[in-house]
Amino acid sequence: MVTFSLCMIVKNEERVLERCLNSVADLMDEIIIVDTGSEDRTKEIAQKYTDKIYDFVWTGSFSDARNYAFSKAGCDYIYSADADEILDEENRQRFRQLKAAILPEIDIVQMKYANQLEFGTIYNFDEELRPKLFKRVRTFQWNEPIHETIILEPVIYDSDVVIIHKPEQSHTSRDIAAFERIIKEGKTLSKRLHNLYAKELFVSGSDEDCMRAVSFFERSAMDGTRSLDEMKEACCVAARGNRLLGNIPTFFKYALKNVAADGCAEICYELGSYYRSIEDYEEAILWFYNAAYETECILNIKYGRELPLRALAECYEICGNAELADCYRKELEG
């Protein structure tokens, strides 16, 4: 049977670490814990499960810490886990079956990451496949009888193992601070991080977080090297931030730039919010309707249904149309 190394990076996880390790420790052949500066009982708890505990001076990069943890592993495969994850008994059994049957040509195993929507994460779905198990040493082989080449794409297997995500607290402030630090240092956000920063702001960021991000996303919206998708999400943040700041002409500049590129539910909702704020309820209803029924959300799924439906009910209530207000409330409940 193949062997598995568990690799974790931790900091101040005394509330959840034991819960996590109790659910996976007996499935592993080796446990690697890399601590990035705990000031609580995290390392004391980890010592109950392994003597392979390493200190790592935090560099500001989770990738640096994970790469260091992976460098300490010695088994066939590396299982990467966070302290706020658990496997229930059904999925522990699935994990055992996977370990017994995994084929040697598999480089990466993806597992279902569940319970996303309950904790206000940046994801718009409750369950997604994530790469969680990695072959430690990948073997390269020549392929094809003529014009031979090396196979470079990894062999990925989508398993039925479901990992339950149960964080004790939101990581929003930590993550937004990290994005702000990267930008302050003059580094460029990749397309992926650009999207995740915008999502973080629209899903769980505060109004103050959004206003602080305005200048970055204004530059991004006007950056010709960014893709259309990046421009649209940048306009969402720039428009919302400027509305909150009271810079209405600039708010309309980025809202209309987004609309000209087919728009999205987030911008329609922002336009509705503006018109509601000046008590132009007829115009607000038009834009909230567009958010709920005519456009797709790109950052936060709630802007495509829950938020505009609630706003429609409130606007119709203010306008004295209790029947339509009740209709939208019922749709929201359904």
**In DSSP terms, which residues pair with 85 in a beta bridge?**
165
| Burial profile 170-193: b = 16 or more Cβ within 10 angstroms, e = fewer | eebeebbebbeebbeeeeebeeee
The two counts, helices (H) then strands (E), for the chain are: 14, 10
Outline which parts of the chain fall under CATH 1.25.40.10.
170-255
Cβ atoms of 303 and 202 closer than 8 Å: yes
- Residue 60's pLDDT band (cuts 50, 70, 90): confident
pLDDT tens digits for range 204-248: 899 999 999 999 999 999 999 999 999 999 999 999 999 999 999
Cβ atoms of 32 and 50 closer than 8 Å: yes
Outline which parts of the chain fall under CATH 3.90.550.10.
4-165
Per CATH, the homologous superfamily of domain 4-165 is: Spore Coat Polysaccharide Biosynthesis Protein SpsA; Chain A (3.90.550.10)
Task: Please tell me whether residue 204 adopts helix, strand or coil conformation.
Answer: coil
- The yes or no reply on domain 170-255 and CATH 3.30.70.420 is no
Q: Give the per-residue pLDDT at 122.
A: 47
Tell whether the model's pLDDT for residue 133 goes beyond 50: yes
- Rounded to the nearest 10 degrees, the angle between the axes of helix 191-203 and helix 228-245 is 30
With pLDDT > 90 as the criterion, what percentage of the chain qualifies? 83
- Lowest-confidence segment of 35-49, 173-187, 271-285 by average pLDDT: 173-187
Overall CATH class of domain 264-334? mainly alpha
- Lowest-confidence segment of 62-76, 159-173, 262-276 by average pLDDT: 159-173
pLDDT tens digits for range 287-328: 999 999 999 999 999 999 999 999 999 999 999 999 999 999
- Which residues fall within 8 angstroms of residue 248, CB to CB, at 6 or more apart? 242, 274
